[in-house]
Amino acid sequence: MIDSKTLAETLLKFSTSDDAEKKINNFFYYLEKKNLLSFLPQIKRYLLQKQKSSEHFNTLYIRSRFSLYWEDIEEIIRIIGVTKDAPVEFIQDENIIGGFQVIYKEKIYDGSLFHKIDQFENTLIQS
C-alpha cells in the first residue's frame, strides 16, 4: 500500500545512493504521473520530523543541579563514548537534587540523587 511514510523512506534511500539527483528527479516524475503529488506535504512533514528526531538522537543532554566545568563535561563525553561533533546541551535542573543525568542516543545515564532516593523509596515499600 502506498502511503506517505513509505514514499518518504524511499526518497531518503535515493538521497544516499549513487546518482541520487537522477533518482530523485525520477521519483518526482513518478509522483506526477501517478497523480500522487498530494502526498508531498505529508512527505515533507515526515522528513522534518525525522530530521528533528535525528538531531535529538545525536545530541548529548546533560542535566545537573549545579553548573559543571567544561572539564567535567568532557569527562562525561569520554565515559559515555559520544561522537566528536555531537552537539551538547546543558540544562540546570534543581529537581534532580544532586548529581547529574545524561541523555544520549535512546539511553538515560542516571546518576542523580533524585533517582537514588526514588530507588530507595521502592526498596522501602517492598520491605
Partner 1 sequence: MNTDTLIKKIEEQINNFEATLDVVEFGIVQSIGDGIARVSGLSQCEASEMIEFEDGSIGVALNLEEDTVGIVVLGDYLGIHEGDKAKRTGKILSLPVSNDIIGRVVDPLANPIDGKGEISIDKQQLIERVAPGVMAREPVSVPLQTGIKVVDALVPIGRGQRELIIGDRQTGKTAVAIDTIINQKGQNIKCVYVAIGQKKSKVMRIVKKLEEAGAMEYTTVVLAGASDSSALQYIAPYAGVAIAEYFLDKGEDVLVIYDDLTKHAAAYREISLLLRRPPGREAYPGDVFYLHSRLLERACRLNEEYGGGSITALPIIETQGGDVSAYIPTNVISITDGQIFLEAGLFNKGIRPAISVGLSVSRVGGAAQKKSMKKTAGPMKLALAQYRELESFAQFGSDLDSQTKKALDHGRKSVELLKQKQYSPISLAKQVASIYALNNSLLDDIKFEDILDWEIGLYKFLEMSKGDILKSISEKWDDDIIGKLEQAIKEYNDSFNI
Which residues make up the interface to partner 1 (CB under 8 A)? 53, 56, 99, 103, 106-111, 115-116, 119-120, 123-127
DSSP characters for 75-92? HHHHHHT--TT--EEEEE
Which is closer to partner 1, CB of 35 or CB of 123? 123
Rounded CA separation 101/111 (Å): 6
Which is closer to partner 1, CB of 88 or CB of 111? 111
On the CB side of 104, CA atoms within 13 Å amount to: 22
- Provide the minimum distance between the beta carbon of 57 and partner 1 in the complex, in angstroms, as a whole number: 8
Which is closer to partner 1, CB of 14 or CB of 109? 109
DSSP symbol at 37: G
Q: Could you tell me which of 31, 33, 103, 91 has the C-alpha nearest to residue 66? A: 91
- Provide the minimum distance between the beta carbon of 86 and partner 1 in the complex, in angstroms, as a whole number: 17
Which is closer to partner 1, CB of 11 or CB of 103? 103
- Provide the minimum distance between the beta carbon of 110 and partner 1 in the complex, in angstroms, as a whole number: 5
